[in-house]
Amino acid sequence: MAPKKENPTKRAAVPNAVIENAGVMVEQPITETLEKNYMPYAMSVIVSRAIPEIDGFKPSHRKILYTMYEMGLLTKGRTKSANVVGQTMRLNPHGDAAIYETMVRLSRGYEALLYPFVDSKGNFGKAYSRDMAYAASRYTEVKLDPICAELFADIDKDTVDFVDNYDATTKEPTLLPVTFPNILVNPNTGIAVGMASSICPFNLGEICETTIELIRNPGHDILSTLKAPDFPGGGYILYDEVELRKIYSTGRGSVRVRCRYTYDKQNNCIEITQIPPTTTVEAIMDKIVELVKGGKIREISDMRDETDLSGLKLTIDLKRGVDSEKLMQKLYRQTPLEDSFSCNFNVLISGMPRVMGVGEILTEWVAFRRECVKRRVYFDLSRKKEKLHLLKGLAKILLDIDKAVKIVRETEEEREVVPNLMIGFGIDEVQAEYVAEIKLRHLNREYILKRTEEISQLETDIAEMESILKDDKKVRSIIIGELKGVMKKYQQPRKSTLLFPSEEDEIQPEEEIPDYPVNLFFTREGYFKKITPQSLRMSGEQKLKEGDQVVTTVESVNTAHLLFFTDRHQVYKARACDFEDTKASVLGDYIPAKLGMEEGETVLFMAVTTDYKGYMLFVFENGKAAKINLSAYETKTNRKKLVNAYSDKSPLAGCCQLEQDCEVLLTATNTRMLIFHTGAVAAKATKDSQGVGVMTLRKGHFVASVKLFVEGMVANASRFKARNLPAAGALPKAEDVGEQLQF
């Protein structure tokens, strides 16, 4: 019986060797980890994914368009999108879904580009709709739009570099030799690691004209030819010369875009047909619904999306008697119907991200295009020189055709034909090879004469090309000629209209708020109620949480300003109209949640004012008091929160709102009481003033209670009134205080 052979695989699997450093924790500096692990990823995202290059494309765009060009879709009819997606995966192995989504954004049907590159058929969704999804790639058809001829012009003449694809089975271009500044013609946004890019689109005609003027005169005023961005969705651009010049010079800034609408008087409705590029129909509708539910807009009766094959249409039905213009002004301020496009012209130049202004980008593009033109001319020059060399050899054969035939006929071996022709006519190997390959039917004088007539034209062309390579002026003339050709073929009117705001437009009208009497209630636990007098008369008892009680009751109006002072030395501002009218039978709004206060922050006091006249009196446990002008809390902007609302040097014992100076009763922890007149305390404009000493306290004691003094509150009040400040106050007798002063 033969011995059983040992399986070498099994033997290797036995863990009889200890792995070196297994289970050992090795300390590694975080900087080293970032450098080794995170930096390569970050650089890949920046250089190979998110930031566009000078031709105006990211790698994903370039791979799709080049694949379609190789498939012949520039001249052929449409093909299924799935075919393009499949072919593109030879260059872009990131999954079919990502490739198809990228192609959708390049399509005419999606309407995201000012000058689309993909001529599409089928449902490609819409850039202005969040919910309108594109159809699957097996249902839609695509081909390249005619403007793509300008992307691939002379790409086969070595105008740009080619590199291997990811598995080295084919080649792809590193850039496309675009004949116009596509980088500024179509919008391009991307978020990389630690940086982003956001390039707004400009009208093709204006960009080409600006580029031509910059080539002729580097000091050209760009704003004179490049009026403003031009968005594919149209709308109105609010013209701001200062901001535009900032964008053109630095590459950073923002452009305000407003929707376009018409008012249908017959049906009393507003029809919105163009919206800013930064929003969608659904986002606008959601915001309007939120405002209507919150009671901030009451002029709208209905709203519907009537978008169809003819394009975007959002209809807003108005209530009777509503001024449509005033309503739109309100919607501009509170909804995305007017929005800002933030510009960040970050472009990869030779693999390095750079934020540049329009002039600098166009200068870089001209330099790139100059290189493309020179490489194309050099390529043609090399071909013409090769052809001239061959024809000069053919011209020598013309001197004695019979001799050439005789040499070929009398040569015994085929490999000797070329050397014998070289010797016989004094030509080199390349010329001799060309002559030897001529067909027998072409060995006649007429054919050879016709071919050699090209020599003079070739010599003229070669001289012209060599002069172009030596003279930058001629290269610039070629670029200008190409730009003019692009303008003639593809220029179209602006889609976005310039709107020059007047001074009146810049002044935001005060929002019309219904003004009527209200009763305001605030509880110790932080609940707020706004109740109309009519509702209050018909109500029963106030509904409160167990253990809670109303601490502030104010009769005011719906337009009143509310100031909520908290234990974090902050004040939160609101308007009475920000709250819904309610009833006594409900708990009301919980202020910390309603106003977005910090976790654990509680409200100490609510002040109510309509004109910011009067004072706020803050009394601290250390016996000091600060009287602050209420106007110190008034702001020109609608700020919702102010920090340093009062001093934080000592804990707050209590605060009061004073319409005018009056007497205040302080009680200390040792039961001493002091009545002082607030007129003795100077008013301050600084909110966090530490105040002045009012009550002298013994060691270990502090102010425990602050109340506005009313005659009859204590007996023998004169005993407690201070003649000078600070004062220690007096100890009360049993008959001096009532239950209302217990603390």
Structural domains for the chain: 55-178 (3.90.199.10), 260-336 (3.30.1360.40), 372-490 (1.10.268.10), 517-741 (2.120.10.90)
d(CA 123, CA 125): 6
Q: Which tens digits make up the pLDDT trace of 686-707?
A: 898 888 999 998 888 999 999 9
d(CA 385, CA 562): 87
From the CB of residue 659, how many other CB atoms can be counted at a distance below 10 Å? 10
Identify the pLDDT of residue 309: 86
d(CA 671, CA 730): 9
- Angle among Cα 474, 475, 476 to the nearest 5 degrees reads 90
Identify the pLDDT of residue 538: 83
Identify the pLDDT of residue 743: 42
Identify the pLDDT of residue 17: 55
Annotation marks residue 447 as catalytic: no
| SS3 of the chain: helix, strand, coil, percent, to 5 | 35, 20, 40
Let me know: does 282 contact 129? Beta carbons within 8 Å. Answer: yes
d(CA 599, CA 605): 18
pLDDT at 734 exceeding the cut of 80? no
Question: Mean pLDDT, to the nearest integer, of 223-233?
Answer: 95
pLDDT at 289 exceeding the cut of 80? yes
Strands (E), 345-466: 346-349, 352-355
* Beta pairing class for 624-629 and 683-684: parallel
Question: Mean pLDDT, to the nearest integer, of 585-597?
Answer: 90
Edge to edge, what strands does the sheet with 118-121 contain? Answer: 79-80, 141-144, 118-121
Give the closest residue to 128 by CA, choosing from 281, 340, 342.
Answer: 281
Identify the pLDDT of residue 294: 80
Return mean pLDDT, the chain. Answer: 89
* Active-site position among 38, 66, 134, 139: 139
Angle between helix 401-410 and 358-398 (nearest 10): 80
- The secondary structure of residue 53, as a DSSP letter, is B
pLDDT at 80 exceeding the cut of 60? yes
Identify the pLDDT of residue 443: 72
Question: Mean pLDDT, to the nearest integer, of 726-738?
Answer: 78
pLDDT at 475 exceeding the cut of 60? yes
Which pair of structure tokens corresponds to residue 17? 């060797």
Give the closest residue to 457 by CA, choosing from 549, 387, 545.
Answer: 387
Which pair of structure tokens corresponds to residue 181? 């500044």
SS3 238: strand
Identify the pLDDT of residue 512: 63
- Angle among Cα 179, 181, 185 to the nearest 5 degrees reads 125
From the CB of residue 401, how many other CB atoms can be counted at a distance below 10 Å? 13
pTM for the model stands at 0.70
Higher pLDDT, 12 or 684: 684
pLDDT at 523 exceeding the cut of 90? yes
Let me know: does 326 contact 319? Beta carbons within 8 Å. Answer: no
Give the closest residue to 673 by CA, choosing from 730, 724, 610.
Answer: 730
* Number of residues in the chain: 743
Question: Mean pLDDT, to the nearest integer, of 539-550?
Answer: 87
Which segment of 222-236, 350-364, 443-457, 673-687 scores lowest on mean pLDDT?
A: 443-457
Let me know: does 314 contact 352? Beta carbons within 8 Å. Answer: no
- Angle among Cα 327, 330, 334 to the nearest 5 degrees reads 135
